[in-house]
Structure 1
């Protein structure tokens, strides 16, 4: 994560001032003004030239699969396209997923988190809006209109116009979709209307005005009445009219003495043009077409808020409860039809409902899951995801599987070939790191609390729990021979355990103490004798693992063969640091089993692919987007056919095919 910017003296950063000392065979670079000395292996030292440039690898990455969905804080973001694909988003990727064919396509035009989407009346064009990102150049909020068949971008709207993230979008319906309405998350939640086909692929703004100082959660063009828009949110619903001059006029919905809800949470339209609103009281309110007055209230349809209303082709209304997790169907007069279904609590509340094929419904949940099903046959999850910050990633040593763990206390095992969740388990602790034993039979999970758990990978039972310090366990790693386990903590220490013949017989050998900041990365030597470690203040230290003693002469370690290359600071990874890097830029790195590729996860939403070793300060690479802000980890799968990357706050897991 990026530290706050200081206004102190200018510090030397990155590899721009990197200097090679031929006599000692050492390369000196700087991170936040601190010199980092890296020792060249004996065979490379005499001929090393610091000015050479490493070329990018012949191999490339192609995004193959996206795991996850953003339902925790977004609305109306799940649709079925005429192609048979479900349309939704997570992180900076818009996913087009055909469940029957088990295939995905991806729209990758955005530079940061996608926050909302809308479908054109022709059901082929899509508008998606993004957040205001960390990067003032790339992460500016804007809207992209694109073709869902060709994935070609048709217009990029509002670059430099939107004050905050774009949170709601809707195409006009009665005029064939010529206009697009957008709400941004500025203080006044501005509402703007765009003629999106004008202005040289940038759209032309028809009008803009303040919408509400309170939160706005939805904006929808009326399907029948030209120039009519409905917005809703905290303690309000508003009915807007766009006149021929481009001016917007607002009438607030009148609740009179009725129980005014804290939030009007969603809107939909009946086939006769009345407006339906769902609210935080669990009521559905009918507003007469063309008016701002209530014609009917159906109270207590749900316990707690109604997050979504979906009017089906036959006029029936399906509602979803954000708190009670219930999906209900009523007839067009809002009379109960007897169709009620309860979703399992671990799936979360109902965030959005869309009509699928036949009687099928698509359901997005507040815990980032997507379900497909019907009232008759029930609902099954087709997309699972994490809901909180995601840091732990562990590839299986011999199968095309990998494990993820997040601050939501959920551990999930994924199958990269079947592209699905094998199992999911709540461990009751926020997960920070994870590793498989070399034989794949045990899993160790480092937790935020300073605990670490041992799990049997077959039974999924937690077989033992240990505590080392009270700080997060940043990294866990088994030695290649499977006999030792290293635990790197945020308390600056590495704890080393002897692996016993049963899970309960892990005995602590000792503690490696000498770092003056928290442990960030660890590597084992191929012979399981030594450890090397990086810390938060950019130290590179070496340890004799069996006796937990520091090797104080790094020159002795220059020719050690390392089993893994997860330390971001090493001679063979100097090229992953940008010229102006400040040390927090690269969160993780890993090397392929073939020792030909090096991948990194960085703070700028990028996954990068280098040739290994990256021993030149100038090492060229291939760069890939899709995540937002910080990418927390990367790992090659056992056979080097795929790379897995995970996003921190974007909670997504991206699977890349190596071409």
Structure 2
């Protein structure tokens, strides 16, 4: 709920005791300032820093729940999306460009017949004004937005987009995710794009909708329990439903493709491929049990053969013009079932998978994984203390080590439980990973061997951090405790010191003092508490607390981070923050899909910073590389890791 200004209490500075009082959900929070701060003016916001962020690399691909999401351009770039970014990735040269026009999750893509223009459709976003589902048509060479279609016209999200082929791409087809899954046709031939017709398609989800490549004003649409053949003339749209006749009607028609001769192919949830004669709504040929389980994708290749991709069997099959199987290849289990098949460069094919990977290769030789990413919600992030590497971990049970310079996976490891937080030891040899089950483990980074597994409590570990000298490990848990361990033998041996007990809600963030003596922590009910690491006792001497130097700034509630909170924040809006190693910048990750960059310290309430889109929904974590050259950020449900250059 957006609160009015009258309900938001202004921050107050207490000169006598040296603290700033801010309010979260009407609750007062005292943030103790360093002793050196005097005559503080709480009403003067800070200016943004000189430094800015440029999106440098996107790790990930959204194959898990989207179709129409992987194509090849004549430039040698393959086009796909992750979160709110369309990635143009030159696999040979190892470069990426990014289209950043969207404000939230992208769900579908289409390439114009001119092979330059691209249409991409997004979901409803957070922002009342900008967050409406819409389609953006843009230039893939200049990355300039040419047109924004349908703001305020669509509901929930855009599920399908398709350019017309027969008239050279003068029309665009759009299907939204409203209750009636409305299909609309837009005229692109004039400067001002306009809608020329629309119709309800079905009360059930639409999986695919495309213009027929060789029949004017003809559209094929399919989804749950239906395939339909549409014509539009002068604004009216007429529908013929596909007749299954002697064949059993499948539960879902998942995908469509078109043959050289203009026949329509459909792949369905029962594993069949049906051929629908050109210009008819009748089946002329059937390949029953083409796949074990659903047919998830169909693709006509340059040489006229047809490829089909299986959901359950993870197989790609090639069929000749008489629909006889030529060859097949099974995708390794780790990459998951086929989501999307696409023609690559030359005789190569591109394969997008449900486990958010992209493979490239040929069926008779090898399919190599060229893009890899997390498969479920993502929270854990830790940067290496001395190398251009970082570690991420998520609900998919996977831990990834990435190289920020080669933009590649150094290694990945699957663990028994969902992972939520991570910290790399100051020596760079081991990492501690907090899991969602109350367990935590320590991993040798060179051998990837699990060195030790501990259980502390039965709830998720929210945050984990080694002390600067590497002799302690602190783990903040959802059970309101902070567990502290002595660390010996270069991070290979752990013995419990005790647990810090005093928070009345779950622990959200922890920081260590530079001398490794103190811990400061935040909790779900906005408490800021300080602890002595050696005995886990709460430390309350305010004069001493005001003098402590903190090695990191992960705590979002602190005097030095009072300015990162937006006006009227409710305490959950900022998920994480990270100070640069030089100590001049602080980045925050928020609930509105934004990565924000402020000058540090950022103590003036409502300070001005730079704000960057690219993620969708919750940005869950941010961390600077050891040399501050890059900022790494994680999206929660968008499962993407974004790498930003600090310029």
- TM-score after normalising by structure 2: 0.98
Give distance in 1, aligned partners of 2:212 and 2:41: 67
1:105 aligns with 2:97: yes
1:24 and 1:655 mapped to 2: Cα distance? 41
Alignment of 1:18-33 (within 5 A): 18-33=11-26
> Per-residue deviation at 1:49?
2.0
Structure-2 residue corresponding to 1:263: 252
Aligned to 2:186: 194
Match of 1:283 among 229, 252, 272: 272
**Could you report, residue by residue, the CA deviation over 1:273-329 in whole angstroms, capped at 9, with x for unpaired residues?**
000011111111100000000000011111101111111122100111111111111
User: SS of 2:488's equivalent?
Assistant: coil
**Partner of residue 589, structure 1:** 577
Cα distance between partner residues in 1 of 2:348 and 2:358: 13
Change (3 A) 1:204 1:508: same
From 621, 628, 633, the equivalent of 2:621 is 633
Counterparts of 1:120-269 in structure 2, within 5 Å, are 120-198=112-190, 200=192, 203-243=193-233, 245-269=234-258
Query: How far off is 1:225 after superposition?
Result: 0.4
Q: How does 1:6-45 map to 2 (within 5 A)?
A: 13=8, 17-44=10-37
Output the CA distance in 2 between the equivalents of 1:55 and 1:502. Answer: 42
> Is the partner of 1:573 in helix, strand or coil?
helix
State how far apart, in whole Å, the 2-side matches of 1:387 and 1:12 are.
41
Structure 1 range deviating more: 91-100 or 544-553:
544-553
1:599 aligns with 2:592: no
**What does 1:485-500 align with in structure 2 at a 5 Å threshold?**
485-500=473-488
Query: Following the alignment from structure 1 to structure 2, what is the Cα–Cα distance between the partners of residues 538 and 491?
Result: 15
In structure 2, C-alpha distance between the alignment counterparts of 1:419 and 1:622, rounded to whole Å? 25
Following superposition of structure 1 onto structure 2, how do residues 324-473 of structure 1 map, counting pairs within 5 Å? 324-337=313-326, 339-473=327-461
Matched residues in 2 for 1:540 and 1:164: separation?
Answer: 39
C-alpha distance in 1, partners of 2:260/2:463?
57
5+ long unaligned stretches in structure 1: none
CA–CA distance in 1 between the matches of 2:10 and 2:603? 15
Unaligned runs of 5+ in 2: none
**1:516, distance to aligned residue in structure 2 (A):** 0.5
Q: TM-score, normalised by structure 1?
A: 0.96
| Greater mean alpha carbon deviation, residues 96-105 or residues 373-382 | 373-382
Tell me if structure 1 keeps the 8 A contact 2:470–2:491. no
Per-residue deviation at 1:11? 9.3
Contact 1:568 1:589 (8 Å CA) reproduced: yes
**Aligned length in residues:** 647
Q: Is this contact kept in 1: 2:225–2:253, CA < 8 A? A: yes
Secondary structure class of the residue paired with 1:394: strand
Shift of 1:26: 1.1
Residue 495 and residue 179 in structure 1: after superposition, are their counterparts in 2 closer, same or farther (change >3 A)? Answer: same
| Secondary structure of 2:146's aligned partner | strand
CA–CA distance in structure 2, aligned partners of residues 390 and 31 of structure 1: 26
Q: 540-549 or 462-471, which moves further after superposition?
A: 462-471
Report the Cα distance in structure 2 between the residues aligned to 1:238 and 1:185, rounded to whole angstroms: 17
Q: Which deviates the most, 495-504 or 186-195?
A: 495-504
Aligned twin of 1:298: 287
Equivalent residue number for residue 529 of structure 1: 517
C-alpha distance in structure 1 between counterparts of 2:56 and 2:6, whole Å: 40
Equivalents in 1 of 2:606, 2:28: separation in Å?
Answer: 18
Q: What is the distance in 1 between the residues matched to 2:286 and 2:138?
A: 39
- Distance in 1, matches of 2:45 and 2:67, equals 47
C-alpha separation between the residues in 1 aligned to 2:555 and 2:293? 48
